[in-house]
Amino acid sequence: MGTRRKSRELTMQMLFQGDLGKQTPDEVRKLFWPSRDDVDAETRSFAEDIYRVATSRITEIDGIIEQHSQNWRIERMPVVDRNLLRAAIAEMLGYPNTPAAIIINESLEIGRRYAAPESIHFLNGVLDAVAREIMKKRLA
């Protein structure tokens, strides 16, 4: 597994932990990293960067998700799905030079590992719509 994919997976896991455990970002970091001493500095740094964007812009990101997930409230989504979406959108917002197609593809690969099989089409549809909107705003 590549460094960036591992970072994205770790970001989703951190978001999942905070979401399910109702933990603050600092609490998540304190509990999450000590058990992962095999993660190199580059992988950890990229994961932390995405996590920081996701947690600092959570209200905005959740609004974007609800806007593009037709008739789904964020709290009704499966925990894995909503946190995969949060991580991917945070990366789209925080790393505008990374092509959205790469972020989406990587998110779907992680989803194939952690999410229900029927979630993949949902995740792809939401992320594609979000990517188109973000690109349109950048070009405006």
Residue 122 has pLDDT above 70, yes or no: yes
Count CB neighbours of 9 within 10 A: 21
For residues 49 and 97, give the distance between their C-alpha atoms in angstroms, rounded to a whole number. Answer: 15
Query: What pLDDT shows up at residue 107?
Result: 97
Query: What pLDDT shows up at residue 71?
Result: 81
pLDDT tens-digit series, residues 67-89? 999 888 899 999 999 999 999 99
Nearest to 81 by CA among 10, 12, 130, 32: 12
- What percent of the chain is predicted at pLDDT more than 90? 86
Half-sphere exposure of 136 (CA within 13 A, CB side): 6
For residues 134 and 91, give the distance between their C-alpha atoms in angstroms, rounded to a whole number. Answer: 12
Give all domains of the chain, ordered by start, each with its CATH number: 3-139 (1.10.940.10)
For residues 39 and 93, give the distance between their C-alpha atoms in angstroms, rounded to a whole number. Answer: 24
pTM of the predicted structure, to 2 decimals? 0.94
- What percent of the chain is predicted at pLDDT more than 70? 99
pLDDT tens-digit series, residues 6-36? 999 999 999 999 999 999 999 999 999 998 9
DSSP string over 42-110? HHHHHHHHHHHHHHHTHHHHHHHHHHHSTT--GGGS-HHHHHHHHHHHHHHHH-TTS-HHHHHHHHHHH
